[in-house]
């Protein structure tokens, strides 16, 4: 995040953290696609460059959105997980999926998911959050 803020507007604050083309895709992959390793994120269809991915993961960790955990010695590597703060983005991402399904003919949103949100938005958000292990902070 920049040292000086453009304003105290909450939308401006969110844009400072999420306002690029890649950050929300990393969060999407963690939240909805079960990706947890660096190589998992690189395999996403959008084709993010390695330097961009590394930067976004570091930024999200610095802001308390994700945690980075070294895997066991024999397993090697690291895994990433959403924190409680990161999981707090679930309602916004669910709304983005629903909005895109209405306004993008090529949207890959699953009709069952969109219908479930229409029936009980809070239950869908709760199930998305419940699908992730509790992490700190």
The count of domains in the chain is 1
pLDDT of residue 73: 67
| pLDDT tens, position by position, 110-134 | 899 999 999 999 999 999 999 997 6
* pLDDT of 2 strictly over 70: no
Burial track 77-102 (b if 16+ CB lie within 10 A, e otherwise): eeebbbbeebbebbeebbeebbeebe
- Centre a 10 Å sphere on the Cβ of residue 60 and count the other Cβ atoms it contains: 24
Q: Is 66 helix (H, G, I), strand (E, B) or coil?
A: strand
pTM of the predicted model over 0.75: yes
| pLDDT tens, position by position, 17-66 | 888 889 999 999 999 999 999 999 999 999 999 999 999 999 999 999 99
Answer yes or no: is 136 within a domain.
Answer: no
Answer yes or no: is 69 within a domain.
Answer: yes
pLDDT of residue 112: 92
Answer yes or no: is 62 within a domain.
Answer: yes
Question: Domain of 15?
Answer: 10-130
pLDDT band for position 135 (cuts 50, 70, 90) = low
Answer yes or no: is 57 within a domain.
Answer: yes
Answer yes or no: is 1 within a domain.
Answer: no
Answer yes or no: is 135 within a domain.
Answer: no
Q: In whole angstroms, what is the distance from residue 43 CA to residue 74 CA?
A: 23
Answer yes or no: is 55 within a domain.
Answer: yes
Answer yes or no: is 2 within a domain.
Answer: no
Classify residue 52 by burial, with Cβ atoms within 10 Å: 0-12, 13-18, 19+: middle
User: Could you give the angle at which helices 23-32 and 10-18 cross, rounded to 10 degrees?
Assistant: 80
CATH, residue 106: 1.10.10.10
């Amino acid at each position: 995040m920049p040292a000086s803020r453009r304003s105290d507007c909450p939308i401006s604050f969110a844009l400072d953290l999420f306002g690029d083309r890649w950050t929300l895709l990393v969060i999407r992959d963690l939240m909805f696609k079960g990706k947890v390793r660096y190589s998992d994120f690189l395999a996403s269809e959008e084709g993010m460059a390695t330097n961009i991915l590394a930067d976004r993961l570091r930024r999200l960790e610095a802001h308390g959105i994700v945690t980075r955990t070294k895997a066991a010695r024999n397993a090697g590597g690291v895994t990433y997980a959403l924190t409680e703060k990161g999981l707090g983005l679930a309602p916004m991402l669910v709304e983005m999926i629903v909005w895109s399904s209405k306004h993008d003919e090529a949207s890959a949103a699953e009709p069952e998911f969109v219908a479930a949100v229409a029936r009980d938005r809070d239950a869908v958000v709760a199930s998305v959050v419940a699908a992730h292990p509790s992490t700190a902070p």
